[in-house]
Structure 1
Amino acid sequence: MISHSIWRTVTAMLLLAGSLAACSKNDDKQEVIDPGGNTVTVKTGVYSVVNLVADTNATSAGNAVELYYSLEENKVIPASLKQTSKWDIVFYGIYNSSVYPNNGAATGSPGFGGPGTARLYVVVDRKFDAQYYDTTNFKPKTLPIPRQLWNTAFDAVKTVPVTDGQMGVRDAGLDHFQNNFDGWGYYDFYGSLFPDDPKKAHVVYAMPRVIVVKTTKGHYAKVIIENIYKDNPAAPSRDNKPGYVTFRYAIQMDGSKNLDIK
């Protein structure tokens, strides 16, 4: 597990390349990824991105401004390059809560029509989910969700569990929110989980689910989103500021599907 003491807060211009600190479990040193547009390919390892500035003005009333990200280079990619293969995933939609792969065949994706070939797959283990989630009614039964479950879920994905053909080109979004798809987070649109607290309506709760990504360059990665609120609060409310994405990912750069990366 990566120590919180070596995480650094990301500061970035909205939709422009910002600076962030990335650390690998294989290396005690911090590596600052160049935000100036130069290509800096990462090594096989585990990287943490904390308080990545997305759309801090995002609300539940409409889609947030899109944020493009390269897992291969560990940095934000300018929106002007959305029709290129420079990025791997984009955070968009309500509170930047949907994650689309950069795939030119993905209808509805900002990358539609472009050269991207990225794909993704949401790993769902119903037995594991049952520790914190009502798998019949599709809503959390325990809040806040125990933090250690993110580490357990992340470490459990040791390889790509499906074929490339089984990976999708559509987005990984909010769990069963206006759709029938399993997602990475739960959106309590009406505040039904806390009916006596109006500050708990329109709150997104991250769930410990891993998104496996095949990047535009053909490498495999696993991503787990921990929060979309500033400073990663365990029990977010309307008092917390959205638009700050915290996630962790491991990327395998040797071309294999081995995601058992420490």
Structure 2
Amino acid sequence: MNNKHPIICSFLATVLLFSCSKDDTNQVVPVETKTFKNLAAAPTVNAMTSQPQAPSSKFTLFSLRTGEVIANTDSTTDKWDLGFRGTTIIVNGGAIRTGKGGLYVHTGLFDELKEVPATATFLVDETTTKLALAPASGQGWYNYNAMANIISPIPGRVLVVRTGDGKFAKVEILSYYKDAPANPDQTNIARHYTFRYVVQPDGSKKLSN
């Protein structure tokens, strides 16, 4: 009786199974654009004393990877990517952080930014006053209209973020006011960020499909 055929069939089945498994591990995970509405940033003024918060005060921490607010008890981990207090945004990277984060401000359209630019230089939070994203009107993500007392995102500013665990993402701030009114005024509630973002989970620098 010839036993070669079962052996050959078994060998071919093993090869096919290995090939399929290899293909599965090499599959590219598609990225998607997500929007987070009304992220309540930490206040800039102490409600008890009416005095400005200290630079070391708490931020509202957010994970782009999970789309969730992270507890301040995890502030010394790499679980969070961005932190928000008033108009100030911090990253989870630098001498005063524990993550691998960083930030680069890209000038251009969100949808047209397909990958992290080769020339991108990522900055980190070196001190509480020397941050990756400049916390000043016209220098970071927003403009401040003193006459109207309104904060407006600067058109064409995209935050390219290196996450707390070293992956890459892009973020566009859409509004600083609750429910993202098209034309905010002083009656609108501030410190409620709406932003859209894309996270690349595979570690590559591609930010679109």
Whether TM-score is above 0.5 comes out as yes
Corresponding residue of 2:170: 222
Moved over 4 A (4+): 56-59
User: How far does residue 173 in structure 1 lie from its aligned partner after superposition?
Assistant: 4.2
User: How far does residue 77 in structure 1 lie from its aligned partner after superposition?
Assistant: 0.5
User: How far does residue 243 in structure 1 lie from its aligned partner after superposition?
Assistant: 2.0
Q: Within 2, Cα distance between the matches of 1:54 and 1:182?
A: 20
Q: Within 2, Cα distance between the matches of 1:214 and 1:53?
A: 22
Between the aligned residues of both structures, percent identity stands at: 35
Stretches of structure 2 that go unaligned for 5 or more consecutive residues are 1-28, 125-130
Contact 1:103–1:116 at 8 Å: present in 2 too?
Answer: yes
Distance of aligned partners of 1:183 and 1:104 in 2 relative to their CA distance in 1, 3 Å threshold: closer
Q: 1:158 aligns with which of 114, 135, 142?
A: 114
CA RMSD of aligned residues (A): 2.6
User: How far does residue 236 in structure 1 lie from its aligned partner after superposition?
Assistant: 1.4
User: How far does residue 100 in structure 1 lie from its aligned partner after superposition?
Assistant: 1.3
SS at match of 2:151: strand
- Length, aligned pairs only: 168
Corresponding residue of 2:31: 44
Corresponding residue of 1:168: 123
Stretches of structure 1 that go unaligned for 5 or more consecutive residues are 1-41, 106-111, 126-152, 192-199
Distance of aligned partners of 1:43 and 1:216 in 2 relative to their CA distance in 1, 3 Å threshold: farther
Contact 2:35–2:195 at 8 Å: present in 1 too?
Answer: yes
Contact 2:42–2:84 at 8 Å: present in 1 too?
Answer: no
Corresponding residue of 2:20: none
Corresponding residue of 2:203: 255
Q: 1:234 aligns with which of 167, 176, 182?
A: 182
Asked if 1:73 corresponds to 2:66, the answer is yes
Corresponding residue of 2:105: 122
Corresponding residue of 1:12: none
Match for 1:220: what amino acid?
F
SS at match of 2:33: strand
Corresponding residue of 1:16: none
Q: TM-score, normalised by structure 1?
A: 0.57
Q: 2:139 aligns with which of 172, 182, 189?
A: 182
User: How far does residue 233 in structure 1 lie from its aligned partner after superposition?
Assistant: 1.1
Contact 1:101–1:118 at 8 Å: present in 2 too?
Answer: yes
Which has the greater radius of gyration?
Answer: 2
Q: Within 2, Cα distance between the matches of 1:56 and 1:98?
A: 10
Q: TM-score, normalised by structure 2?
A: 0.71
